[in-house]
Amino acid sequence: MKALIIVDVQNDFLPGGALAVKEGDQIIPIINQIQEKFDFVVATQDWHPEDHGSFAANHSGKEVGEFIILNGVNQILWPTHCVQGSLGAEFHKDLMTEKWKAVFQKGTNPLVDSYSGFFDNNNKGDTGLSKFLKNNGIEEVFVCGLAEDYCVKFTVLDGLSEGFKTHLILDATRAVNIYENDFAKAMIEMKNAGANIVHSTNIE
């Protein structure tokens, strides 16, 4: 059976938000249409405490876009975003949520960032998504949402390494593109790892 994974379609990643993805709002009606084709839909939610180590504001003298070592791993610093309980952390109001079986929150440990919906960036913290999908007989996942070059990419890569046949829905994702070409680089990484690229209208 197949599942749809909707990654981080939250106000802070949409135009006007703290870490806005250009054209991020354009994928919302597409994702709503795609949901009609799935019996099994889950979502992920970036869900940081205020003191999260990925926020530039929590490192004096550091700016957004600079790198630090956080708990032994290279960490780019972000604007403060998706703080637990804030409006920015909420899903966009137009996104349909009725069909969702579960929401997997990530980024809750202040000492480690978490891009993938499956595991944190140290590969230790597990959201339980893989087990949840497998327990429900899911073998194939379709990934959409934000941002193509961070949370979507790492969710796709972990989906593959967890053994799921993994598809990226190309017209239902957008990149934050902190650096030029990040979108294209992420596409190559996902394809090289074995991801299949689909257009929403071609999903059966």
- Partner touching 150 among Zn ion, ligand VGL, none, CB below 5 to 8 Å by kind: ligand VGL
The binding track of 18-57 with respect to Zn ion, each residue x by CB under 5 A or -, is ----------------------------x-----------
> Alpha-carbon distance 19 to 33, whole Å?
25
Cβ 21 to Zn ion, closest distance in Å? 12
In the complex with ligand VGL, the residue whose CB is nearer, 122 or 163, is 122
Residue whose structure tokens are 């137009």: 94
> What is the Cα 200 distance to its own chain's centre?
18
> Alpha-carbon distance 62 to 80, whole Å?
13
Cβ 37 to ligand VGL, closest distance in Å? 23
54 in Cβ contact with 107 (< 8 Å): yes
Reply yes or no on whether 8 is catalytic.
Answer: yes
- Partner touching 14 among ligand VGL, Zn ion, none, CB below 5 to 8 Å by kind: none
Q: Does 8 bind Zn ion (CB under 5 A)?
A: no
Nearest CA among 196, 54, 43 for reference residue 121: 54
> Alpha-carbon distance 20 to 60, whole Å?
23
> What is the Cα 99 distance to its own chain's centre?
19
55 in Cβ contact with 80 (< 8 Å): yes
One-letter amino acid identity for 64?
V
Q: Interface residues with ligand VGL (CB under 6 A)?
A: 8, 13, 46, 78, 115, 146-147, 150-151
Reply yes or no on whether 51 is catalytic.
Answer: no
In the complex with ligand VGL, the residue whose CB is nearer, 76 or 160, is 76
One-letter amino acid identity for 132?
F
The count of residues in the chain is 204
Q: Does 158 bind Zn ion (CB under 5 A)?
A: no
Cβ 188 to ligand VGL, closest distance in Å? 18
Reply yes or no on whether 106 is catalytic.
Answer: yes
In the complex with Zn ion, the residue whose CB is nearer, 153 or 167, is 153
Q: From the candidates 12, 46, 82, 106, which is the catalytic residue?
A: 106
Residues that bind Zn ion (CB under 5 A): 46, 107
As annotated, the active-site residues are: 8, 106, 151
